[in-house]
Amino acid sequence: MSILKSCFSLITILLITTTVKAQSDSIATPDSTLTIVADTTINLPESFYIGLDSLLNDWYARQYLIYDSTCISGAATVKFSDTIYAERLSSLPTIVEMPYNYLTRQYIDAYTGRNKEVISYCLSMMNFYEETFVNALNKYGVPVELKYLPIIESALKPKAYSRMGAAGLWQFIYSTGRTYGLYVNSLVDDRYDVAKCSEAAAKHLKDLYDMFGDWSLAIAAYNCGPGNVSKAITRSGGKRNFWDLYPYLPNETRGYLPAFVAVNYAMTFHKEHGICAMATTQPEITDTLHINKNLHFQQIMDFCGIEEAELKALNPQYLTDVIPGAYKTYTLRLPLEHIRPIVEAGDSLYEHKKEELFPKSKLAYIDDDMKNRNTYVVHRIKEGETLSSIAVKYHTSVKNIKNWNNLSSDRIRAGKTLRIYNR
C-alpha cells in the first residue's frame, strides 16, 4: 500500500488547550518532517487510563501472567524515523488501510512509550482471547486486524466498565448490545460474555461496513455511532473518506482510527521498541455446558470442587451467584476436569440445597422479573408524535428511548419504528 495513496492526512496543527486542530489537507509523506506534539494534546482512549495494577488484578492475569519489569526496556523509549514507520505500516497484510501521518505518530509514541506496559500486558492476554475474536470476525467476513479493537476499547480488561456505561471487552452500551442480542438484567450481563460479545461486535462491524462501504468509517461509527458519521458525511458535502470527515467528527472519534492503526503497529512491531509479552503459563482447557434450570454457584462448587474465584472469572456474565436457566438456556464454562462431575450429577445437581439457595420468593423474582425486562414492543411513529409524548405513553423516559434505539438527537420521523422495552 503506497503512502501516497493513503487517505488525506493533516500536517500542520494548532494547539488550542488540549485539542489537536488540522490546518492543512496535504498528505504527510514518509520523508516529510512531521509536527510532533505532546501526548496531552491528543484524545487518548479511556482504556489508556486503566492502570497496570488494575489490569494485573484480573483473575486471569493473577493466575497465568508473570510480571517481569525487565521485559520492558526501562525508561528509554525507542523511536524511529517517519520513513520507517510508514514503511512498516504499509507492509502490514491488512484490508483496513493503515495510513501514517502526524496523528498516527502521536498514538504510536503513546503506545510504545508511556503505555508500553499495557501493550506488554495485552500481548499476553491475547493468548486467552485471540482465537475467540478471530473466529467471530471470520464468521462475518470482518478483517482479522480488527481483533485489536478491544485493546483500544478496554485494554483487554474483561470487566471493563466506562463512564458512559459501556461494558466488557468490546465496550457495548446497553442499547447497541440489545440490538445484537446482548441482554442485561439483574442477574446476567451478556456484554461480559467473551464469546457472545465478540460475535455481537463482528455483526455490528459488518453492519456498519454495509452501511458506509468503508472499513475506516465502520471503525469510526463503532466509536461514535452511525448517526454521527452520517452527520459528518452530510456536513462535509457528501465526502466518504475518514480524513475528509475528520473536522466534522466528534473529538474522541478523530483519534479513534489513528489509535487503531497505532495499536496494530505496536502489537506487530513491539520487539523493535523493546517491548515483549509478559510471561504466560498455560491456562486450563475449558469447555461449556448448557444450563436450562436455575443453578447456584454453590451447587457447582459443591459437586466439582472448583474455587469460587475461578468459577466467577470463567463466567463473568453472571452478576450474582445465580445462573437463571429456568428463564432461558445459558452456558457454563468450566475446566475439563470439572465438567465430568457436573454431567454425572444430573438432576441431583439442581436439587442440591435447592430450598436453601432458592427460596420461593427468589425463584419468582428470577422467573417473572427477568422476563419483563427482556421484552419490548415496536412502536410506529405517528405524525405529530415526539419522544416526550411517546415516553409518557409507555411510562418511561426520553433518555431510555434514545438509549434503546441509539438515537443521538430528539428528532424522529413519522413512519419509523422504535423499540420500547418493559422495565
Report residue 402 CA to chain centroid gap.
21
The per-residue pLDDT for 300 is 97
Using the 3D structure, point to which of 231, 252, 280 is the last residue of a domain: 280
Reported residue count of the chain is: 423
Q: How far is it, in rounded angstroms, from Cα 185 to Cα 345?
A: 29
pLDDT tens digits along 80-92:
999 999 999 999 9
Question: Do 69 and 75 contact (CB within 8 A), yes or no?
Answer: no
The predicted structure's pLDDT at residue 164? 84
Please state whether the predicted TM-score (pTM) of the whole model is above 0.85: no
| Catalytic site positions | 153
CATH number at residue 406: 3.10.350.10
- DSSP, collapsed to helix, strand or coil, labels residue 122 as helix
Whether 183 and 292 map to the same domain: the answer is no
CB 124 within 8 A of CB 271: no
24 & 120 share domain: yes
What does the pLDDT read at residue 36?
A: 38
Segments forming the whole domain that contains residue 176: 3-280
Is it the case that residue 37 has pLDDT exceeding 50? no
CA 409 to CA 423: how far, in whole Å?
A: 23
- 384 and 354 belong to one structural domain: no
Q: Identify the CA nearest to 136 among candidates 175, 166, 99, 181.
A: 181
- Buried b vs exposed e over 97-126: b needs ≥16 C-beta within 10 Å? bbbbbbbbbbbbbbbbbebbbbbbbbbbbb
157 backbone dihedrals φ, ψ, rounded to 5°: -90, 115
Q: What is the mean pLDDT of residues 103-130?
A: 91
- Of 162, 163, 165, which Cα lies nearest the Cα of 176? 165
The residue among 248 and 408 whose pLDDT is bigger is: 248
- How many CB atoms neighbour CB 81 within 10 A? 10
Among 372, 389, 407, which residue terminates a domain? 372
Q: Average pLDDT of the chain? A: 83
Quick check: helix, strand or coil at residue 378? strand
383 and 358 assigned to the same domain:
no
Residues 60-69 as b/e (b if ≥16 CB within 10 A, e otherwise) read: bbeebbebee
Residue 407 shares a structural domain with residue 268? no
Upper half-sphere CA count for residue 69 (Cβ side, 13 Å): 5
Q: Are 154 and 197 in contact (CB under 8 A)?
A: no
Q: Are residues 264 and 129 in the same domain?
A: yes
Contact (Cβ atoms closer than 8 angstroms) between residue 12 and residue 24: yes
- Is the pLDDT score of 202 beyond 90? yes
CA distance 100 to 236: 22
pLDDT band at 310 (very low <50, low <70, confident <90, very high): very high
Give the span between the Cα atoms of 116 and 130, in whole angstroms: 20
Whether residue 394 has pLDDT greater than 80: no
Confidence of residue 315 (pLDDT cuts 50, 70, 90): very high
One domain for residues 44 and 164: yes
Q: Which long-range contacts (CB under 8 A, 24 or more apart) does 41-44 make?
A: 41/13, 41/15, 41/106, 42/103, 42/106, 42/107, 42/110, 42/255, 43/19, 43/251, 43/252, 43/254, 43/255, 44/110, 44/255, 44/259
Examine the domain organization and report whether 212 and 350 are in the same domain: no
Same domain (yes/no): 149, 98 = yes
Here the CATH number for the domain that contains residue 22 is 1.10.530.10
Identify the pLDDT of residue 129: 93
pLDDT at site 386: 85
End position of a domain, from candidates 263, 280, 297: 280
Together in a domain, 390 and 258: no
Instruction: Specify the amino acid at residue 208.
Output: L
Same domain, 89 and 178: yes
Between 99-108, 196-205, 345-354, 408-417, the lowest mean confidence (pLDDT) is in 408-417
- Rg (alpha carbons) of the chain, rounded to whole number: 24
Quickly state the pLDDT bin for 15 (edges 50, 70, 90).
very low
Assess whether 175 and 71 both reside in one domain: yes
Number of domains in the chain: 3
- Return the closest-CA partner of residue 423 out of 367, 374, 368, 364: 374
